[in-house]
Structure 1
């Protein structure tokens, strides 16, 4: 008996589509088989020593790798007609535990992450680079220029010191605590985090070849230079016209680390107090401090004491505060006169002659009941009130004891105000109007207190990043479509092993498990691509695929894999003999046709049509059986189930 025409057509079309879908699947598979201790005071007391090396650079940098001199730079900043977007960024770490605060910056395409000390006293942003001759072990892998499709060296020109071998501009920075950094200059895409309104920008930065002193031993990767200078990240962004000439820092309090940072302008709170800052007075950010009051009484000092040498300098890279000799003596005496119920004790570190007191509350919010208020009065009559947490640090060995975090600055007449003075204080460096603002607040709740949304901005996004949130902002790179961004679909590398093929073959699965553990990926991501053997040596090509539910490897994961391969941080058991990893490579995800990209839809439609066809056939079959049941048939004497199930 003939099949129903509709059912026959439906099944035939469905089988054709299913065959095409399976062929597309196999094609895709084929393509897929083809990355405190007490920190040293004056940690970054940037050039307050007259022996500090200074590098003279031109006024701004353009995208053609040529430095350009512009006399109109200062006036150009005042011509902006609207407020450009800003980059909101979180601060991490703790001032007195780590000695600094850091922010996260991403450099390159795809982005490579770095933890950088925010430093208003430094004018260069720099990170350790691959091949660094003398760099310490830091928080993140070194920058790999060869992995960035957008990296360019800054070529030698008349305005920079030059590495003649590399034909590349160089930089060198030395600091008062005897640490130093030197290397070459490059430029690349810099990204600021998911809370930034500011999209990634090209910027010049230092690629470290040598670091010494605290810079070598610190956990942070490098420095983010926020000072006045042509290589400063702030100056570069201002000169490009992408932010207004301002930035802000807000350090967490005594019991809460972290904080917030803004590159660009913000609307200042109505009760923010301001001090004038004269850029011609000093190369550092200074304020016109006139008096210091303790418990409402002015210290018996001439205002000139705060105007020596560089004046009164704000330095976010310095941990504590340092006063000229006469000012420190007056401040110490005034504080001690107010501490009637406390006992003076020795400091926690015998290497320092700290002034400490016991007998106070361990609750930092109650310190104002024991320690006096301190006010800094500016020439305009406005004053910044300091809480005890702004001039004290906890004694690490005695419960309820505190020490002065303000010291004598040797014989140097400069007044240096480090991060301790501005804890839980929003500090706005309004360079355009030559003033610095101070606003007492809880920095861990800054966005809420400024009534600023903490949700990421609504801008073009790319699915090549993973969002994870810590503190006040995500710790992953921003979701912008960076120019030249590469989605990594595959990381391959070779392994030479001094084991015969016949001996190694039974242990390939075991070897893949060890590799997955060393590269911190799932074993399902580790695939053997090909295997050759000669004598007692074998050569294996491995590939690291994305996780099963992903189309490509996350940038952070890829950079970690590549860093482990590059730095020989893959260790296998001795049973595998001597081995060597080399010649790693990255490949983008395979480009798929329209049919391949819509494979799931095609398969779904095909399956649906097959089911529909079978259902139609079944209904037609039942209808025909019902029709036949009305006709008289002779019984089948020896019918078996198979006969009854044969098609009509």
Structure 2
């Protein structure tokens, strides 16, 4: 499996799933069950509105039988991004008391698993391993005729092997799954995998494990649907090229106006597929047989795969059509010598000005529009250079669409109606606009509705006036970092460190400001300030939360040459508390410094000229020539 440095996990959907317990065909959603959606934000573009058809109206839920009440919505942050990690994670809590884990949201996997304390071959991940002995609700899944069995423990097992040669295996158990303190959904009993062995990218990744959203009875979605906690649907919304974040919704939503749907046939393949008929580059169709996108597993969506992979013929045609529309852009080597990336320099900060739009024509004739951020990634070593995030899928004729294709796109996996919807929006800000509580919502959702109306939350917005009341807007973030590197050794590398800080926090370098730094023994204490982007007066809550999480959870990484670091303290200041002078402190400081230097230089020149003139006018009668040369200038 081809991944982009730094190493990221790209869980190819086309995997071999071995020794699966309970892997019978998933049961259809029972319409008599009450359900409400679960909203999970990913931690860390505008769209035009059109009329909505009648079939895209609210899904009305029915009451649960036997007096059982339906669950409430669960809202929780997700972290990471495609830019630096290659995946998105959510935080799930397993056991009683809860133990926290960062899990990759993966629509290509059907099991949710985390490393177990008994694991004999597991990597060093973000959180401590799960300890069954510390949970009062842990219950092994006993061996039965439907599963492979560990005969020593008499417990069901699972095993997964992926196309990029990574693998995971372990024991299955019943546990209580919680969705975080921001969630209103009651904890749910579910089956998960307690890992005893992992290899490949799974062993090396920073995330703890996988949250399986695929089709199958062990899938977290299927289990929640079976219990009536959610309707048979979920949605994902990934952030753009420069910002991570977004949101995930477990359960039905009201499709936003203009959402484009594609038919998805669960009988076509065990994965989430769509009908893809054509690809257009700059408005011109590629000369391909439409059946090329329907081979083997067809055209598959996988949230756990980073990039997109086309059959050989389709990839060659796409690459050639793209290159013919690039004008004067210069072809350059890729950032990683291990891969023959197709990269181009000279596009500047905005690739949409140099690269063409791409349309994916669906089976019903509708078009999914792709802007450059949906098929490119930034070159990590050359400013203004971009690389193609679409690759040839080896000898496999399957068309595989990973997360890059759906950046800033709300993707609704409407399993109940056998369709997948696409709608362009600003996913990085979606969670801020979804985060509605009873206190700040003028019209709370009806208790008899099984769907969430996302239209207000998904409205194209970029100004602070559109943020919901009660939201704390972040004007500036400051933090003190202690580096295990001496003041003298660090001094020549401060500019390099500033760029590294910006890159690892997923922000631009001009937002990072070194306030002060002082030597302390064998280390250095540095004070940093993070300001909003040039086009905004504030930092979005999602971005701020992602920055703080990376710092406090020690997910911020520096090269070994800088030694180890520790975040001593951090602070957040709302923009409303900052005057014009404070918000423009950096520019004001530079302007004042320049003015002082100009005045000082002018006065100095004036004084020296006058003083020199007076000295040259005075000459003692008997003064020697060398003495004149000693006069101050």
Distance, in Å, in 1 between the alignment partners of 2:211 and 2:235 is 14
* Aligned counterpart for 2:260 among listed residues 273, 276, 279: 273
- State the alpha-carbon separation in 1 of the partners of residues 186 and 163 from structure 2: 35
TM-score by length of 2: 0.62
- 1:380 aligned partner: 364
Residue in 2 that maps onto 1:159: 146
The equivalent of 2:187 in structure 1 is 200
Q: Give the distance between the partners of 2:130 and 2:197, measured in 1 at CA.
A: 14
* In 1, Cα distance between equivalents of 2:325 and 2:248: 35
Residues in 1 aligned to 2:235 and 2:212: alpha-carbon distance in whole angstroms: 13
Q: 1:353-364 to 2 correspondence within 5 Å?
A: 353-362=340-349
2:5 to 38, 42, 53: 38
Q: Tell whether the 8 Å contact from 1:306 to 1:414 is kept in structure 2 after alignment.
A: yes
User: 1:109 Cα shift?
Assistant: 0.9
Whether 1:129 aligns to 2:83 is no
Secondary structure at 1:116 match in 2: strand
Closer, same or farther: CA 471–321 of 1 in aligned 2, 3 Å: farther
Q: Contact 2:21–2:158 at 8 Å: present in 1 too? A: no
Counterparts of 1:34-183 in structure 2, within 5 Å, are 38=5, 43-46=10-13, 48=14, 53=18, 55=20, 57=22, 73-74=27-28, 76-77=30-31, 82=61, 85-183=72-170
Return 5+ residue gaps in structure 1 as ranges.
1-35, 61-69, 459-468, 473-559, 561-648
User: For the residues of structure 2 that align with 1:305 and 1:183, how far apart are their CA atoms?
Assistant: 38
Task: Give 1:267 deviation, angstroms.
Answer: 1.4
Equivalent pair of 1:184/1:208 in contact (CA under 8 Å): yes
Deviations 1:499-518 (CA, angstroms, capped at 9, x unpaired): xxxxxxxxxxxxxxxxxxxx
- Tell me the secondary structure at the aligned position of residue 293 of structure 2: helix
SS of corresponding position for 2:421: strand
From the superposition, tell whether residues 214 and 374 of structure 1 become closer, same or farther in structure 2 (CA, over 3 Å): same
Between the aligned partners of 1:471 and 1:407, the Cα distance in structure 2 is 40
Partner of residue 409, structure 2 = 425
Please give the residue correspondences for 1:444-483 in structure 2 after superposition, counting only pairs within 5 Å.
444-447=428-431, 452-453=436-437
RMSD of aligned Cα (Å): 2.7
Call closer, same or farther: CA 1:451–1:374 in 2, change over 3 Å.
farther
In structure 2, the residue matched to 1:441 is 425
Q: Please report how far the alpha carbon of residue 76 of structure 1 lies from its aligned counterpart in structure 2 after TM superposition.
A: 2.2
How far does residue 212 in structure 1 lie from its aligned partner after superposition?
0.7
* Higher-Rg member (1/2): 1
What is the CA–CA distance in structure 2 between the aligned matches of 1:446 and 1:280, rounded to whole Å?
33
CA contact (8 A) 1:90 1:471 kept: no
Aligned to 1:593: none
- The runs of 5 or more residues in structure 2 that have no matched partner are 35-59, 63-69, 445-470, 475-552, 554-633
CA distance in 1, matches of 2:375, 2:92: 30
Q: Deviations over 1:38-69 (max 9, x none)?
A: 256882113x25x6536252559xxxxxxxxx
Alignment match, 2:309:
322
Of 380, 389, 408, 1:396 maps to: 380
Give the superposition deviation at 1:450: 5.9
Structure 1 pair 454/309, CA: closer, same or farther in 2 (3 Å)?
Answer: farther
Residue aligning to 1:187: 174
Please, which of 290, 293, 296 is the counterpart of residue 303 of structure 1? 290
1:302/1:39 CA distance change after superposition, 3 Å: farther
List per-residue Cα deviations over 1:430-472 (Å, max 9, x = no partner): 00001011111111221455685598999xxxxxxxxxx9999
**Aligned residue pairs: how many?**
413
Report the alpha carbon displacement of residue 374 of structure 1 after superposing the two structures with TM. Answer: 0.5
Q: Is the Cα contact below 8 Å between 1:41 and 1:318 reproduced in 2?
A: no
- Correspondent of 2:396 among 394, 401, 412: 412
In structure 2, C-alpha distance between the alignment counterparts of 1:241 and 1:190, rounded to whole Å:
15
**Relative to 1, partners in 2 of residues 1:58 and 1:353: Cα closer, same or farther, differing over 3 Å?**
closer
Corresponding residue to 2:197 among 178, 203, 210: 210
Shift of 1:100: 0.9
**Aligned 8 A contact 2:7 2:85 in 1:** no
Counterpart CA distance in 1 for 2:432 and 2:102 is: 25
Residues 42, 320 of structure 1: 8 Å contact kept: no
1:313-362 CA-to-partner distances (Å, cap 9, x unmatched) read 00011000000001000100111011002111111111111110000112
Preserved CA contact (<8 Å) 2:11 2:108: yes
| Conservation of the 8 A alpha-carbon contact between 1:154 and 1:187 | yes
The 2-side partners of 1:135 and 1:470 are apart by: 39
**What is the Cα deviation at residue 87 of structure 1?**
3.0
CA contact (8 A) 1:42 1:176 kept: no
Counterpart for residue 583 of structure 2 = none
> Does the aligned pair in 2 maintain the 1:393–1:404 contact within 8 Å?
yes
